[in-house]
Structure 1
């Protein structure tokens, strides 16, 4: 099991990877959405936001408005690290139940293009 710090580092790396996408791809597939990432085995949730400028740094502080995130991800710590490091394919993890994403169908289709 990975630590909270390792998960935070992995989410930071994911934000960096997202920042490497070209502007045309982001403009085509990204809409402004709030995101939560629940690390199931550590009982911790990280909160962030995705928009045309990139993926904001995740924090453990929930949004001030108190509304649930528009895209909610549930994943184990080890699977998060494996996914970010390119060792775990997101589509296979979703189909295998290792990652669960609660989002609208449109958001799921857009995320598929980005991951």
Structure 2
């Protein structure tokens, strides 16, 4: 099992990857709040997707977030590392993403 610090670092790594990828920023034209809930650790993080970037990542849940990712620590790390396909993970119920359908389609491009 991964730690809370590992999960936090994975989200920071994802944010850095998006910052460096101009193509991803162009494909991800959302402005939404995001919550990431890590079920096996009882931890949560939240931030904002804006201008194709993931910003303002901080500890704690945001119950009003427009997009919510719910998963375990190991699946979060695998997803961010590109080792877990988001579509297969959703189908296998390894992750759950609560978002409107249009946002979900855009998020597939991110992960």
Q: Does 1:93 align with 2:92?
A: no
Counterpart position of 1:55: 54
Unaligned runs of 5+ in 1: none
Q: CA RMSD in A?
A: 1.7
Instruction: List structure 1 runs of 4+ shifted beyond 3 angstroms.
Output: none
Q: Paired residue for 1:77?
A: 73
Larger CA Rg, structure 1 vs 2: 1
- CA distance, structure 1, for counterparts of residue 34 and residue 45 of structure 2: 8
CA distance in 2, matches of 1:7, 1:15: 13
Q: Say if 1:12 and 1:57, in contact at 8 Å, map to a contact too.
A: no
Q: CA deviation at 1:28?
A: 4.2
Indicate conservation of the 8 Å contact 2:27/2:52, yes or no. no
Larger strand percent: 2
Q: Which residue is equivalent to 1:33? A: 32
CA distance in 2, matches of 1:4, 1:109: 28
